[in-house]
Amino acid sequence: MEHLEKLQNQALRIMLGAPGWTKIVNMRAEADLPQINHRVHAMNTSLLAKTLAQPRYSEVARRVQQSLAQDEDLFTKRTWAHTTAQGIKTLQVQAPLLSRTTDAQHPDYEPPPPWQEPLYHFSVTRLTASKASLSADDLTAQARQALRAVDDADAEIYSYFTDGSVDPETYRAAAAFVHCDNTGIFRLPDHSSTLQTELAAIVKALDARHKDKDVEELQQEKAVNDELETQLKYHEAALQEFL
């Protein structure tokens, strides 16, 4: 870490054009650039704060709290919890971090039984090479191969194909999904990450599936009502003939 700090200080001095007698602390203040050590601690602590909000990571919270309470002169073994506790003390965020509690579930939430089938199945089709090295024809051929790999024999299967990409030259981003009855193309903010575009495509596909499902339920309900109405009219006519 010390070697990286020296490299950053040398680069900072060159970028600012500062003379050799300028103090490092002044250059950091002018460039608004913290130490690498502090940046690593900040990223680690930020990830820890998000982790502690999830109930399944209670053991992680316990280990970090235990390391915070230990004397650094006595407990010198550099474990993950010990290093994380040092970063928390360096940033002086012990109180707000330890006061965080796990996110409570919605009061109406009921966990599904273990034997229930999942509502969605996700599969990822990997390209044979990096996307930048493949031509448009190769990408089209691999996309069609992925389409053929899906078994559409079952009428209950609804397959949505999603993709998101970022132009490496213009940094324009977009997401899309394809379904046999529906297609969606969405322009995203420039400089979006590839992960953001992929997640946006999945979210849009799920929204479309929910809307399609609502329409199907309405159509089924209408069909049931029509059948009941037909049966009522038939029985009414039979009663009138009997009377």
Q: Please tell me whether residues 94 and 149 are part of one structural domain.
A: no
Burial class (CB in 10 A: 0-12, 13-18, 19+), 196: middle
Q: How many other CB atoms sit within 10 Å of the CB of residue 73?
A: 6
User: CA triplet 9, 10, 16: central angle to 5 degrees?
Assistant: 85
85 with 137, same domain?
no
The predicted structure's pLDDT at residue 60: 81
What is the pLDDT tens value at each position of the chain, 243 positions in all? 778 888 888 888 888 888 888 888 888 888 888 888 888 888 888 888 888 777 777 788 888 888 888 887 777 788 888 888 888 888 888 888 877 777 777 788 788 788 887 777 777 778 888 877 888 888 888 878 877 776 554 545 667 888 888 888 899 999 998 887 778 899 999 988 888 888 888 888 888 877 765 545 544 555 555 555 565 555 555 545 544
Residues 135 and 225 in one domain: yes
What CA–CA distance (Å, rounded) separates 123 from 105?
A: 28
112 part of a folded domain: no
Instruction: Kindly state whether residues 85 and 144 are assigned to the same domain.
Output: no
Give all strands (DSSP E) within 16-105, no chain letters: none
Domain that includes residue 210, residue range = 131-233
| Cα 193-195-196 angle, rounded to 5 deg | 65
pLDDT for res 173? 92
Residue 86 and residue 10 share a domain: yes
Q: Specify whether 6 is located in the same domain as 84.
A: yes
Do 147 and 63 lie in one domain? The reply is no
How much helix, strand and coil, in percent to the nearest 5, is found in the chain?
Answer: 55, 5, 35
Looking at the structure of the chain, the number of domains it has is 2
pLDDT of the residue at 233: 55
In a domain, 142, yes or no: yes
Give me the CATH number covering residue 179: 3.30.420
Same domain for 191 and 144: yes
From 76, 98, 120, the end of a domain falls on 98
193, part of any domain: yes
Question: Side-chain half-sphere of 88: how many Cα atoms within 13 Å?
Answer: 24
Residues 135 and 228 in one domain: yes
Angle (CA) 100-101-103 rounded to 5° is 120
- Whether 110 maps to a domain, the answer reads no
Residue 217 and residue 135 share a domain: yes
In a domain, 156, yes or no: yes
pLDDT at position 242 is: 47
pTM of the full predicted structure? 0.44
Residue that terminates a domain, selected from 78, 98, 118:
98
